[in-house]
């Protein structure tokens, strides 16, 4: 056992959530240690890994990020491989095949960077529509943290208030950068959807629009935001790490936290981690932040059970690992007679959100619709080659299929449900730690929405685009926004953390990020996770000031 110096704040996880908190704590003069399960890997290695993949694997976002044995994640390169880590069960197990990266920097390495805020109504599902739960605070409380998160990540967005989300809701600050241009596909999609009452908004995106920001260059439309932005124009947490280290933060990589240790008075004293030699180490601190993401954070709490905490750390409510959420996704491929031309600009740049709001939410889920903007050249080529074409006919067919096909996507708002539960699997990983087992059922609220609302809407959208083919994949898929496993609430008997993501059970333990989210909304969730991280950081700093 090696004993490290005692730090003011020990942060486990170097994703966006961990990095935001670490930097705030350092700026307030606190000493910070960050533990990271995976290695530090440079951008060029990941870009080369991507380019060296066989063409059929280039759409597997996990493939350029092979995990070391001690920090496994879900992988999808070979058939059956997806079952090797996450132990998924339940009627919609496929919809919980969550992708993330356990490298320094975390999953923002391959996020798309889309940053929709939740709306005031999204935070009040129970009181407005009688479903789910209400958040413990209202939108006005969250708004300043959204603005800070947008500046911390460098989010570009529309300056025209009519194009901002949430609608008719004051912003305390404009976006730090103006919007990115739309390519031909997203512009055409916007124009065609408008007469249907579907407003396709330019997305707020964590990539630099027209100018450099935070030492990172302007986006040049490389259309590779997932799996990796080759030039770091898109925010990813790896870009924050050199700054954190320059400010005096200590970073330990290849350090897999496996136990949180509490004392007799429920105060957290230490975190134990394994190095790649399976040697255990113990680090001590005054405040502890577990920012390992919505799956790994509840897993670590459950792994940490001891005699005084038989259900795991922070789990007197028995809510740790329950209420697992994500926006269940449906996809439809469309083929048209007219060209759409996706693949110009970022991989995602706009979405329809007015479909996420309305009184119908008492009956079924709201949803966000969009058209993916990925370059479809390789997809078109694979299809055309399969037809056995050659010569000019081959070129014409590749061009037609690349230009005249598209992917429509809908992501449904989930409700927290205690049956959607993460527990410890009896199957172990390379270090001998229990793998996460997750039961997942998207629920009737989402199923009703798909049947009565979103699938019919997808069909209408396809018809308006002049689709000659509409191919719906009827299986719910994952959106990779992992939420709910340490749910926030005022009542310690049915929630895990308070309004500052502080554990109800342990005053010096913070569990910020997706796990703390009370409900999920329809939009991409990371900006909300980031806002919660900044709120938690303020609380941590305040706690040190009053101590």
Partner 1 sequence: MRISRSTSPRIGRRELLLGMSSLSALFCVQATRAATLSGGALRSGVVHQKFMSVSSLLVPHKLNETIGIRTADAMIATVPDFPEHLEQLASFIEAKKPADVEELMEALPDVSLKNAAQSIIESWYTGAVQGASTISVISYEEALMFKVTSDVMTIPSYAISGPNGWTADAPPLSQLPIF
Ligand X SMILES: Cc1cc2nc3c(=O)[nH]c(=O)nc-3n(C[C@H](O)[C@H](O)[C@H](O)COP(=O)(O)OP(=O)(O)OC[C@H]3O[C@@H](n4cnc5c(N)ncnc54)[C@H](O)[C@@H]3O)c2cc1C
Enumerate residues 430-459 that contact partner 1 by CB under 8 A.
430
Q: Which window, 43-51, 214-222, 423-431, 490-498, contacts ligand SF4 (CB under 6 A)?
A: 214-222
The answer to whether 481 is a known catalytic residue is: yes
Q: Find the shortest distance in angstroms from Cβ 65 to partner 1.
A: 9
Nearer to ligand X, 8 or 62 (CB): 62
Report the candidate in 221, 199, 227, 198 with the shortest Cα–Cα distance to residue 208. Answer: 221
Q: How many residues touch partner 1 (CB under 8 A)?
A: 78
Nearer to partner 1, 57 or 136 (CB): 57
Per-residue contact flags (x/-) with ligand SF4 for residues 333 to 352, judged by CB under 6 A:
-------------x------
| End-to-end Cα, the chain, rounded Å | 30
Report the candidate in 219, 296, 229 with the shortest Cα–Cα distance to residue 36. Answer: 296
Report how far residue 155's alpha carbon sits from residue 208's, in angstroms, rounded to the nearest whole number.
7
Nearer to ligand SF4, 291 or 347 (CB): 347
Enumerate residues 192-211 that contact ligand SF4 by CB under 6 A.
207
Enumerate residues 118-177 that contact partner 1 by CB under 8 A.
none
Nearer to ligand X, 145 or 364 (CB): 145
524 binds, among ligand X, ligand SF4, partner 1, none (CB under 5 to 8 A by kind): ligand X
DSSP run (H or E) holding 231:
none
382 binds, among ligand X, partner 1, ligand SF4, none (CB under 5 to 8 A by kind): partner 1
Burial-class residue 386 by CB neighbours within 10 Å (0-12, 13-18, 19+). exposed
Enumerate residues 489-518 that contact partner 1 by CB under 8 A.
none
Enumerate residues 395-424 that contact partner 1 by CB under 8 A.
395-396, 398-400, 402-404
Q: How many CB atoms lie within 10 A of CB 76?
A: 16
Helix axes 526-546, 139-153, angle to 10 degrees: 100
Nearer to ligand SF4, 73 or 225 (CB): 225
Please identify which residue in 25, 107, 219, 486 interacts with ligand SF4, judged by CB under 6 A.
219
Report how far residue 198's alpha carbon sits from residue 352's, in angstroms, rounded to the nearest whole number.
6
Q: Look at strands 200-202 and 350-352 and give their pairing.
A: antiparallel
Q: Find the shortest distance in angstroms from Cβ 181 to ligand SF4.
A: 11
406 binds, among ligand X, partner 1, ligand SF4, none (CB under 5 to 8 A by kind): none
207 binds, among ligand X, ligand SF4, partner 1, none (CB under 5 to 8 A by kind): ligand SF4
Enumerate residues 186-245 that contact ligand X by CB under 6 A.
226
Choice among 110, 412, 478, 481 that is catalytic: 481
46 lies in the binding site for ligand SF4 (CB under 6 A)? no
187 lies in the binding site for partner 1 (CB under 8 A)? yes
458 lies in the binding site for ligand X (CB under 6 A)? no
Report the candidate in 543, 516, 498, 344 with the shortest Cα–Cα distance to residue 416. Answer: 516
Report how far residue 101's alpha carbon sits from residue 288's, in angstroms, rounded to the nearest whole number.
22
What is the number of helices (H) and of strands (E) in the chain?
A: 12, 16
Cα→Cα distances 224→219, 334, 342, 346, 478, Å: 11, 22, 13, 7, 20
Cis peptide preceding 267, ω within 30 of 0: no
Per-residue contact flags (x/-) with ligand X for residues 292 to 311, judged by CB under 6 A:
xx--x---x-----------
The 3-state secondary structure of 113-180 reads: CECCCCCCHHHEHHHHHCCCCECCCCHHHHHHHHHHHHHHHCCECCCCHHHCCCCCCCCCCCCCECCC
Q: Are 291 and 482 in contact (CB under 8 A)?
A: no
Nearer to partner 1, 29 or 242 (CB): 242
Q: Which residues contact 170 (CB under 8 A, 6 or more apart)?
A: 143
Cα→Cα distances 4→197, 247, 271, 287, 471, Å: 59, 19, 11, 15, 57
Report how far residue 386's alpha carbon sits from residue 135's, in angstroms, rounded to the nearest whole number.
51
Q: Which window, 42-50, 124-132, 451-459, 483-491, contacts partner 1 (CB under 8 A)?
A: 42-50
Please identify which residue in 234, 299, 412, 506 interacts with ligand SF4, judged by CB under 6 A.
234
Active site residues: 481
Residues that bind ligand X (CB under 6 A): 12-18, 35-38, 61, 71, 99-100, 102, 106-108, 110-114, 226, 256-257, 291-293, 296, 300, 480-481, 513-514, 524-527, 529
């Amino acid at each position: 056992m090696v004993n490290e110096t005692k730090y003011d704040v020990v942060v486990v996880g170097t994703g966006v959530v961990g990095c935001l908190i670490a930097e705030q704590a350092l700026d307030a003069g606190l000493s910070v240690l960050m533990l990271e399960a995976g290695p530090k890997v440079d951008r060029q290695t990941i870009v080369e890994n991507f380019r060296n993949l066989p063409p059929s694997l280039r759409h597997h976002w996990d493939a350029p990020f092979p995990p070391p044995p001690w920090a496994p994640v879900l992988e999808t390169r070979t058939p059956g491989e997806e079952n090797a880590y996450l132990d998924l069960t339940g009627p919609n197990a496929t919809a919980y095949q969550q992708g993330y990266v356990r490298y320094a920097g975390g999953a923002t390495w391959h996020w798309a960077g889309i940053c929709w805020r939740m709306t005031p109504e999204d935070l009040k599902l129970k009181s407005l529509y009688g479903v789910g739960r209400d958040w413990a605070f209202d939108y006005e409380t969250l708004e300043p943290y959204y603005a800070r998160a947008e500046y911390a990540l460098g989010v570009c967005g529309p300056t025209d208030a009519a194009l901002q989300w949430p609608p008719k809701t004051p912003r305390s600050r404009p976006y730090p950068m103006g919007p990115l241009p739309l390519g031909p596909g997203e512009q055409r999609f916007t124009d065609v959807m408008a007469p249907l009452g579907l407003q396709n908004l330019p997305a707020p995106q964590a990539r630099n629009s027209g100018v450099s920001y935070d030492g990172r260059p302007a986006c040049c439309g490389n259309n590779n935001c997932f799996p990796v932005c080759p030039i770091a124009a898109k925010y990813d947490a790896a870009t924050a790490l050199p700054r954190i280290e320059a400010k005096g933060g200590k970073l330990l990589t290849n350090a897999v936290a496996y136990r949180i240790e509490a004392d007799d008075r429920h105060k957290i004293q230490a975190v134990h981690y394994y190095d790649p030699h399976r040697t255990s180490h113990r680090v001590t601190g005054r405040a502890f932040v577990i920012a390992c993401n919505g799956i790994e954070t509840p897993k670590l709490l459950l792994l940490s059970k001891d005699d005084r905490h038989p259900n795991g750390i922070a789990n007197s409510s028995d809510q740790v690992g329950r209420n697992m959420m994500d926006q269940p996704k449906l996809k439809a491929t469309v083929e048209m007679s007219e060209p759409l031309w996706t693949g110009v600009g970022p991989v995602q740049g706009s979405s329809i959100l007015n479909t996420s709001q309305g009184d119908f939410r008492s009956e079924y889920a709201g949803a966000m619709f969009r058209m993916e903007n990925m370059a479809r050249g390789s997809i078109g080529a694979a299809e055309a080659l399969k037809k056995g074409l050659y010569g000019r006919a081959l070129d014409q067919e590749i061009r037609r299929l690349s230009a005249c096909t598209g992917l429509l996507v809908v992501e449904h708002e989930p409700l927290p449900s205690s049956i959607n539960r993460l527990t410890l699997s009896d199957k172990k990983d390379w270090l001998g730690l229990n793998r996460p087992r997750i039961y997942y059922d998207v629920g009737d609220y989402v199923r009703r929405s798909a049947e009565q609302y979103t699938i019919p809407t997808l069909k209408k959208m396809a018809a308006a685009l002049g689709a000659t083919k509409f191919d719906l994949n009827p299986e719910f898929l994952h959106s990779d926004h992992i939420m709910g496993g340490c749910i926030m609430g005022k009542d310690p008997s049915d929630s895990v953390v308070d309004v500052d993501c502080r554990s109800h059970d342990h005053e010096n333990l913070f569990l910020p990020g997706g796990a703390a989210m009370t409900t999920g909304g329809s939009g991409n969730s990371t900006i909300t996770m980031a806002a919660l991280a900044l709120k938690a950081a303020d609380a941590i700093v305040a706690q040190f000031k009053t101590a």
